[in-house]
Structure 1
Amino acid sequence: MISQMKKLYDKYQELIAYAFWGVATTIVNVAVFAALHLCTSWNYIINASIAWFLSVLFSYLTNKAYVFHSPSKSLRSDFIEMVSFFGGRIATLLLEFVMLWIGITLMHQNQILVKILENLVVIAINYFWSKLLVFNHKKQAK
């Protein structure tokens, strides 16, 4: 039983780490948003933007170190990797807005249900973007 669980863990270690750090990223996002809301009189869009930026930076650092184990080769390569990571997150943020607009405004569906479904799509795209394009060791070795 324990050896079977270890095999499963070994097989899905990357996905487990991605899920764990994804939850931590969500906590960072909500905590920063809440702290800014409570401590400033700024507009919620500003608070959300700062929270998004800091949580994506946190996500980049944790994905690099603990999910995809991407070594730092140079400041330049790390910068390119980070720009690619942020670029993917910006693209999926825009996709999120479009999916919410279609689901809520055009289709008149339940906002929470649309948000949950949209999040599942965005999480999957972010994972594959990171795995295949940002932290792809084979691509970087060439």
Structure 2
Amino acid sequence: MKEKPSVLSVLFYKYREIVMYCVFGVITTIISWLVYSICELAFSSFHVTNPGVVKFVSWIIEITGDNTDVNTFVVITLSGMISWVIAVAVAFVTNKLWVFESKSWEGKLVWIEAITFFGGRILTGILEILAVPAFVSWGFNMKLFGIDGLPAKILISVAIVILNYILSKFISFRGSGEKAE
């Protein structure tokens, strides 16, 4: 007599893609936060001295209405950019192999997946890079675990995970039903 599958296994099978996306999304987000935190701490004593850079960053701060100083703005922005690049590389591999199960490594397919994936991530990456300093300037500039801007980073990360799922499912890996064995 065959044993009836548990409710959890039925739910997992039914929602496997979303569950796997959430699991790998959390892993990727944690990697992003760790890299952001390491960078923010490593760059915290960084001081912008180039007059041209100070003028340009001051102009950006003025346009955005940001109330942080030039050095903090540069550190938060640079930390966000570095954490984003590393997180996107991790996300591409995990999404391709384990979330959307696009197992083919045929050159043209991988190229299309990579271009659309990274293109989507560039859009959401720009959103994240701009949104974290903006949220910091709008009052989310509390320190969490000694890290400037981390509450804003967490809030923006949740929205980015949802948007990235939509872009990956319907653009980057839309043909992943034809999986290589």
TM-score range, shorter chain: 0.7 to 0.9
Question: Counting helix residues as a fraction of each chain, which structure ranks higher?
Answer: 1
Change (3 A) 1:139 1:94: farther
Query: 1:16 aligns to what?
Result: 19
Match of 1:4 among 4, 7, 12: 7
Give 1:104 shift: 6.6
Unaligned runs of 5+ in 1: none
Change (3 A) 1:79 1:93: same
Query: 1:128 aligns to what?
Result: 166
C-alpha distance in 2 between matches for 1:136 and 1:49: 27
1:61 aligns with 2:93: yes
Report the residue type matching 1:19 in the other structure. Answer: C
Q: Is the 8 A contact 1:18 1:63 kept in 2?
A: yes
Match of 2:31 among 25, 28, 33: 28
Q: Deviations over 1:80-127 (max 9, x none)?
A: 2111111111112333435974x676xx5x5247962x4443222210
Give 1:58 shift: 0.3
Match of 1:52 among 43, 67, 84: 84
Larger Rg: 2
State, as a whole percentage, how many aligned pairs show the same letter.
29
Structure with more relative contact order (C-alpha pairs < 8 Å, separation 6 or more): 2
C-alpha distance in 2 between matches for 1:114 and 1:46: 13
1:94 aligns with 2:126: yes
C-alpha distance in 1 between matches for 2:170 and 2:29: 22
